[in-house]
Amino acid sequence: MPQIQCLPSHVADLIAAGEVVERPASVAKELLENAIDAGATAIVVELERGGLTYLRITDNGCGIAPEELPTAFLRHATSKLRTADDLAAIGTLGFRGEALAAISAVSRIDVFTRRKGADSGAVLHLEGGVPGEVTETGCPEGTTICVRDLFYNTPARMKFMKKDSAEGAAVSGIVQHLALSHPDISFKMIRDGAEVLHTPGDGKLLSAIYAAMGRDFAMGLLPVKGCGGEVEVQGFVTKPLHGHGTRARQVFFVNGRFVKSQLLQAALEEAYRNRLLKGKFPGCVVHITLPKDMVDVNVHPAKTVVKFVSDKAVFDAFYYTVRDALDGENKPEAPAPRQESFYQTMTAQQFKEKTAPAPEVKKPLGSYTARPAAPMKPAIPAKPAALAFHDVAPQKDQPFTATVPDRSGREMTYHITPPAAVEEKPAQTAVELPAEPAPVAEPVQQQLEAQAAPWRMVGEVLRTYIICEDEADNVWLIDKHAAHERIRFDALKADDHPLMSQMLLAPLTVTLAAEEAAAVLENLETLHRFGFVCEDFGDGTVLVREVPADIRTGDAASTLEELAQKLLLGRIDPEGVRDELYHTMACKSAIKAGMVSNEKELAALVGKVQSGEIKYCPHGRPVAVKLSKYEVEKMFKRA
Ligand code: ADP
Ligand code: MG
């Protein structure tokens, strides 16, 4: 056995570095968190070759005093923690005092820094963790750290690196998450010379989402805000019609930290149950805030796992907040009441009155009209304003240039444009976003008149779509089958009693696949609840004696077959099967497209849609389409 020896410190550092510095993205994360901890309001990230050859982060934070600069790169050197007690109350992102030491151990670093208000700054070059001399220099207030040739002295680690594009994408992911958790900080990322992300830092989450995740995603979102006990939930979720093909756009933050959580994912998707098309997933950017003692942060700081003390409290708070927001979506906009008969039966006089130009009507207090969606302006400020740097470069916007020799005597030239601070950004660069709908107090007058229907049914076309208009001059097309199906579905779910059944004069024989027949016979009781009374007739044939009262007898066999298929699937997912069975029953018992319906039936459907009670059929298809007067006029080029 060889002798036991203490490792030389640089070897120990290399090992420790492996824990913190896995890849360029982990370097970016540590440096960005330092910039945030330093109080920066604007941060620029620049990288080349996925961050392996060049990764530079410039902030306008507090800077580091020249005499403290070498200390910052020592292991366990931190300004954020003094005593063990501090550890419990930690508010900053980094606190172990390891990152700079670990990163510098496996790269070449140049750091420029200047304290706020200081006359000059300082620059330091380090190679493999060994610092050179600190020299005085002019530079912008804040800190620029440039990490070059990552893993140049640890070829083994280098081998684990993925393609540049994958490493660059991982850095983008880190920047995106930090931008979304700090909407008050402007983040800019420049990858191989091209700007790929720039958030305005105006403090609005939606602005950050728009800039970091794109216009389409941002426009398809709905605000959510709520709490359950001490768990607060705030952010944005996908509108049901804007479901995504994958879960990639589900972004959760817990107490400001990006986390991956199956619990939160499950709560989100449960809230969308029966509102999304099959195979579609909701997206979200949501911040969950809860007391520090309700969440276990004692996990590896580089990992994104999180453990809640009470899973149920978090699940419920999140689930109900999202569900309430989805329920409240798209309520008709405070129309005044009006009730007229179905199928236009106006007299000539009424017609004349109706077609006379409308007098100016004052909106009742508290009503709000739909604004045509204003096109959003890009979130990117037209031109970033520069910070002042008194002694060095008096003019704004002037980049700072410095040349730093490395140990082999090669010179590295830097051009640093100070990141734009928020307060210096021109006001008009703020993103214009649709106002979050504020809860509007219903005017008393409206409450009183609520009994009379505030809409008029015009008629039905294609034996499928009901046309109606409301008092806010919106034109509605309502899919009668989808609307009725939803109503049936909700009623079935709400009602605990078995469905009424009708006995058939002559029992029906339904021949099914052997597996399906077996599923039917295993679930006779469930089927009875849905109004079917069946018996085994041998050889995959089932004898049906009673069928649900509200489905057509002619549909009984196909309904049973569909139920059997779903029961089969239920062997895999017993939870989901109940809703699936309800779907079938709702669909089969609903008014069908193409069928003749009477006025009362249709009016009842319109009433439900207009009250905002139903919006999507159980499969997530829309029940109604609303065209504002503005949209109609636009079609005719009047607006
Ligand atoms: P930690 O963040 O855990 O304290 P680091 O090794 O990341 O440890 O940083 C060491 C110290 O260097 C920090 O505590 C902080 O005082 C200082 N520092 C690092 N980066 C910056 C920065 N961008 N601006 C100001 N100070 C910084
Ligand atoms: Mg740190």
Mean pLDDT of the chain: 79
Q: What is the pLDDT of residue 9?
A: 65
pLDDT classification of 70: cutoffs 50, 70, 90: very high
Hey, which of 100, 126, 146 would you mutate to test ligand 1's pocket, going by the most ligand atoms within 8 Å of its Cβ? 100
Q: Is 95 in the pocket of ligand 1 (CB under 6 A)?
A: yes
Q: Is 62 in the pocket of ligand 1 (CB under 6 A)?
A: yes
> For the sheet containing 257-259, what is the strand order?
221-228, 231-238, 284-289, 250-254, 257-259
Q: d(Cα 367, Cα 369) in Å, to the nearest integer?
A: 7
Listed range (416-425, 499-508, 560-569) with the worst mean pLDDT? 416-425
> Among all ligands shown, which has an atom nearest to the Cα of 74?
1
CATH number of 457-624: 3.30.1370.100
Q: Is 97 in the pocket of ligand 1 (CB under 6 A)?
A: yes
Q: What is the pLDDT of residue 278?
A: 79
Nearest CA to ligand 1 atom 8: 97
Of residues 359 and 272, more confidently modeled: 272
Select from 3.40.50.720, 3.30.230.10, 3.40.50.2000, 3.40.50.1820 the CATH code of 220-327.
3.30.230.10
Q: What is the pLDDT of residue 347?
A: 36
Of residues 89 and 196, more confidently modeled: 196
Query: What are the domain boundaries of the chain?
Result: 9-198, 220-327, 457-624
Q: What is the pLDDT of residue 155?
A: 82
Mind listing the pLDDT tens digit for each residue in 491-533? Answer: 888 877 788 888 887 888 898 888 889 999 999 998 998 899 9
Listed range (244-253, 382-391, 423-432) with the worst mean pLDDT? 382-391
Residue 20 region by backbone torsions, left for phi larger than 0, else alpha for psi between -120 and 50, else beta? alpha
> Among all ligands shown, which has an atom nearest to the Cα of 72?
1
What average pLDDT does this structure show over 539-545?
A: 89
Question: Which single residue is written with the structure tokens 């002694």?
Answer: 391
pLDDT classification of 419: cutoffs 50, 70, 90: confident
pTM above 0.75, yes or no: no
How far away, in angstroms, is 101 Cα from ligand 2 center? 10
pLDDT > 70 fraction of the chain, expressed in percent and rounded: 76
Tokens coding 234 = 């705030």
Q: Is 79 in the pocket of ligand 1 (CB under 6 A)?
A: yes
Listed range (200-214, 419-433, 583-597) with the worst mean pLDDT? 419-433
Q: What is the pLDDT of residue 298?
A: 56
Q: Is 61 in the pocket of ligand 1 (CB under 6 A)?
A: yes
Q: d(Cα 196, Cα 193) in Å, to the nearest integer?
A: 9
What average pLDDT does this structure show over 264-275?
A: 92
Q: Is 30 in the pocket of ligand 1 (CB under 6 A)?
A: yes
How far away, in angstroms, is 331 Cα from ligand 1 center? 50
Q: Is 72 in the pocket of ligand 1 (CB under 6 A)?
A: yes
How far away, in angstroms, is 308 Cα from ligand 1 center? 29
Atom number, ligand 1, closest to the C-alpha of residue 93: 2
Q: What is the pLDDT of residue 331?
A: 52
Burial 76-109 (b: 16+ CB within 10 A, else e): eebeebeeeeeeeeeeebbbbbbbbbbbbbbbbb
Say whether pLDDT at 374 is over 50. no
Strand-pair partners of 196: none
Q: Is 65 in the pocket of ligand 1 (CB under 6 A)?
A: no
CATH number of 9-198: 3.30.565.10
Say whether pLDDT at 123 is over 70. yes
How many CB atoms are located within 10 Å of the residue 131 CB?
A: 18
Hey, which of 21, 31, 37 would you mutate to test ligand 1's pocket, going by the most ligand atoms within 8 Å of its Cβ? 37
